[in-house]
A and B are shown apart, each in its own frame.
Chain A
């Protein structure tokens, strides 16, 4: 079905009665999105043009100039944030794929729900608690270091605490369940006979992964990428508590512009930069995925009849 969402250019089209239910159903979400996304982003854009500190300065664009003048500081931090975000996402994918596969194919349904619940429950508590739990876990003399020392792999006084590795570890832990969920849902949709068919046609284990499992889970992987990479690259709390001076992230600096320097315009300019870069990267990933597997990224039902019968 093809139907234009709006009238033609410059045409005030009367709404047909049939469209009212659709509009009514969409109204709450639309209102929420306008109030919570469109308005704040517009305000952010406005603030970014002002001169700090505070939000009562003149429109000068000075904060953008300041930021662009110090590419080493801002650019370096931005790159580190993106690298940490990508690193955490990559680790999440590496861990989540086999996990989701095992849960979907090798675990009885009842055990499966229990494991999924266990995976999620810690994440229902405050993020701050999780971060401090990690702090305790990796602190010098803490359980992990003691265990590593007992195995002779490290000194119990050593630690990765206050390094970027601690931040990477935390971000991975923080967002792993989301990736597992996204991939699990995608893997569940692969019918076992599809893999049997590939096998009967001569596809070895690796070929089945490369040609069937990977492309068929790609939409799930893309979803996972959005819900893991976006918050991970933009995080600040993890870095502030576990990262120390070496683990500082772009988000940390944004937070400090607001909480310490009272420079909302600078924070706004940085936030917009971060948002734009993240969206750009997500777009690039999507494009690459569509290039590699055009059929996999097709919107289902875009061409098909769908609906009743067929």
Chain B
């Protein structure tokens, strides 16, 4: 186990710069999620850590040592690939034991540790099967076991769950977390799935266009996005452009409405252009507009219930506004009925 570090790395493919001055620090035993849209450079960052690519600038460190000169086969990292990359010609035990074999471990030790690892990932007794005889979720576990059995310095996961269907993916998220904790291994997961990033990481780095946009504990980043991009990428967000009318009172004028009592970033001047970010689940259905914050009224544009929650949108002069409430709160609401949505200053993020 060791800490992982990218220190102000830059990287190019040909003439295209894919990473600019990216830093990442993952303390020993922590789970770090790197999230971003495709083309954001997240996979490049992982390839740098793994040693499949070299940085043009900056340093890659594992356990405090510069590993720039070490090829992937000597970095002692466990990698789980998006397509699992299992060895189709080896049975499950052969797959999991491969890294130990490459390290010259004895037959008995390989068998013992492979067996233990298969138990840990919940595949005990399947050692004699071949990868094409397993389900996607099981193959995923094999890939994980194969990466962990060598007791790697860290675990790198490249979109490991994206090929699974939704229900298994959620199960595997929990499993991944459990296994990572039990193994006590430092882990970095790269994903485009914000839900995965939020639920898996101890910390989160949002990448866009090869740059770090924001870094921090998942829900801090979610609740306090530093930019419109982060707000929109992590979860859903209603974004309203506005102009500060009175900084002291937290008064912001929107196109056809006004928010009061907002917590403006320190030093915001009067007349400054700001963006208000309100998550759909922050709205409350209100009888009338009351108290500070922002209230918007309009007829319901569409509404659909997913069991526990109801998701919908209302038409307002500011455009459609999305909201999410628990099902019972919907009462007898229906499409076309007018309703008022209210968000308190605590629910409104000013960017």
The chain A residues found within 8 Å of chain B, CB to CB, are 191, 193-194, 196-204, 207, 211-212, 215-216, 218, 293, 295-296, 298, 300-301, 303-305, 310
User: In the bound complex, do residue A200 and residue B89 qualify as a contact, i.e. CB atoms below 8 Å apart?
Assistant: no
Known contacts A200-B50, A211-B98: A298-B130 contact under CB 8 Å? yes
CA distance A199 to B50 in the complex (A): 10
Min CB gap A207→B, angstroms: 6
CA distance A298 to B71 in the complex (A): 33
Known contacts A211-B98, A303-B133, A304-B133: A200-B78 contact under CB 8 Å? yes
Min CB gap B47→A, angstroms: 9
Partner among A200, A216, A305, A310 whose Cβ is within 8 Å of the Cβ of B77: A200
Chain B residues, CB < 8 A from A211 = 87, 98, 101
Known contacts A193-B83, A203-B102, A304-B132: A216-B88 contact under CB 8 Å? yes
Known contacts A203-B73, A207-B102: A194-B87 contact under CB 8 Å? yes
The answer to whether the Cβ of B185 comes within 8 Å of any Cβ in the partner chain is no
Which 10 pairs, one residue from A and one from B, show the smallest C-beta to C-beta distance? A201-B99, A202-B102, A193-B85, A296-B89, A197-B85, A295-B89, A200-B79, A193-B81, A304-B132, A215-B89
Chain A residues, CB < 8 A from B150 = 201-202
Chain A residues, CB < 8 A from B90 = 295
Min CB gap A289→B, angstroms: 11
Q: Which residue of B lies closest to A208 (CB)?
A: B73
Chain A residues, CB < 8 A from B98 = 198, 201, 203, 211
Chain B residues, CB < 8 A from A201 = 73, 78, 98-99, 102, 146-147, 150
Min CB gap A185→B, angstroms: 15
CA distance A202 to B82 in the complex (A): 19
User: In the bound complex, do residue A293 and residue B89 qualify as a contact, i.e. CB atoms below 8 Å apart?
Assistant: yes
User: In the bound complex, do residue B72 and residue A191 qualify as a contact, i.e. CB atoms below 8 Å apart?
Assistant: no
The answer to whether the Cβ of B91 comes within 8 Å of any Cβ in the partner chain is yes
Known contacts A203-B73, A203-B102: A212-B87 contact under CB 8 Å? yes
The answer to whether the Cβ of B306 comes within 8 Å of any Cβ in the partner chain is no
The answer to whether the Cβ of B250 comes within 8 Å of any Cβ in the partner chain is no
Identify 30 residue pairs between A and B in the complex whose beta-carbon atoms are under 8 Å apart, listed by A's number: A193-B81, A193-B82, A196-B50, A196-B85, A197-B79, A197-B81, A197-B85, A197-B86, A197-B87, A198-B98, A199-B71, A200-B50, A200-B72, A200-B73, A200-B75, A200-B77, A200-B78, A200-B79, A200-B147, A201-B150, A202-B74, A202-B76, A202-B102, A211-B87, A211-B101, A295-B94, A295-B130, A304-B132, A305-B133, A310-B135
CA distance A6 to B85 in the complex (A): 40
Chain B residues, CB < 8 A from A212 = 87
CA distance A143 to B74 in the complex (A): 50
User: In the bound complex, do residue B89 and residue A196 qualify as a contact, i.e. CB atoms below 8 Å apart?
Assistant: no
CA distance A191 to B132 in the complex (A): 15
CA distance A193 to B88 in the complex (A): 12
User: In the bound complex, do residue B89 and residue A191 qualify as a contact, i.e. CB atoms below 8 Å apart?
Assistant: no
- Residue from A197, A200, A298 whose CB has the most chain B CB atoms within 10 Å: A200
Q: Which residue of B lies closest to A202 (CB)?
A: B102
CA distance A75 to B90 in the complex (A): 41
User: In the bound complex, do residue A191 and residue B83 qualify as a contact, i.e. CB atoms below 8 Å apart?
Assistant: yes
Q: Which residue of B lies closest to A197 (CB)?
A: B85
User: In the bound complex, do residue A196 and residue B52 qualify as a contact, i.e. CB atoms below 8 Å apart?
Assistant: yes
Min CB gap B156→A, angstroms: 8
The chain B residues found within 8 Å of chain A, CB to CB, are 50, 52, 71-79, 81-83, 85-91, 94, 98-99, 101-103, 130, 132-133, 135, 146-147, 150
CA distance A165 to B146 in the complex (A): 49
User: In the bound complex, do residue A216 and residue B89 qualify as a contact, i.e. CB atoms below 8 Å apart?
Assistant: yes
CA distance A216 to B85 in the complex (A): 13
User: In the bound complex, do residue A191 and residue B85 qualify as a contact, i.e. CB atoms below 8 Å apart?
Assistant: yes
Min CB gap B61→A, angstroms: 18
Chain A residues, CB < 8 A from B76 = 202
CA distance A212 to B72 in the complex (A): 17
Chain B residues, CB < 8 A from A301 = 132
CA distance A298 to B73 in the complex (A): 28
CA distance A295 to B75 in the complex (A): 29
CA distance A296 to B91 in the complex (A): 10
- Residue from A201, A296, A305 whose CB has the most chain B CB atoms within 10 Å: A201
Q: Which residue of A lies closest to B149 (CB)?
A: A201
Q: Beyond the given A200-B78, A200-B79, could you list 13 further A-B residue pairs with CB under 8 A, ordered by the A residue number?
A: A193-B81, A196-B72, A196-B85, A197-B81, A199-B52, A202-B74, A202-B150, A203-B102, A293-B89, A295-B88, A295-B91, A296-B89, A304-B130
Chain A residues, CB < 8 A from B147 = 200-201
CA distance A303 to B134 in the complex (A): 10
Partner among B72, B85, B99, B101 whose Cβ is within 8 Å of the Cβ of A194: B85
Chain A residues, CB < 8 A from B79 = 196-197, 200
Q: Which residue of B lies closest to A301 (CB)?
A: B132
User: In the bound complex, do residue A204 and residue B73 qualify as a contact, i.e. CB atoms below 8 Å apart?
Assistant: yes
Chain A residues, CB < 8 A from B77 = 200
CA distance A204 to B75 in the complex (A): 12
Chain B residues, CB < 8 A from A193 = 81-83, 85
Chain A residues, CB < 8 A from B103 = 202
Min CB gap B39→A, angstroms: 19
Chain B residues, CB < 8 A from A198 = 87, 98
Q: Which residue of A lies closest to B82 (CB)?
A: A193
Chain A residues, CB < 8 A from B132 = 300-301, 304
Min CB gap B284→A, angstroms: 43
CA distance A197 to B86 in the complex (A): 8
User: In the bound complex, do residue B73 and residue A199 qualify as a contact, i.e. CB atoms below 8 Å apart?
Assistant: yes
Chain B residues, CB < 8 A from A202 = 73-74, 76, 99, 102-103, 150
Q: Which residue of A lies closest to B80 (CB)?
A: A197
Min CB gap A242→B, angstroms: 40
Chain A residues, CB < 8 A from B74 = 202
CA distance A211 to B90 in the complex (A): 10
Q: Which residue of B lies closest to A201 (CB)?
A: B99
User: In the bound complex, do residue A298 and residue B81 qualify as a contact, i.e. CB atoms below 8 Å apart?
Assistant: no
Chain A residues, CB < 8 A from B102 = 201-203, 207
Chain A residues, CB < 8 A from B71 = 199
Chain B residues, CB < 8 A from A300 = 132
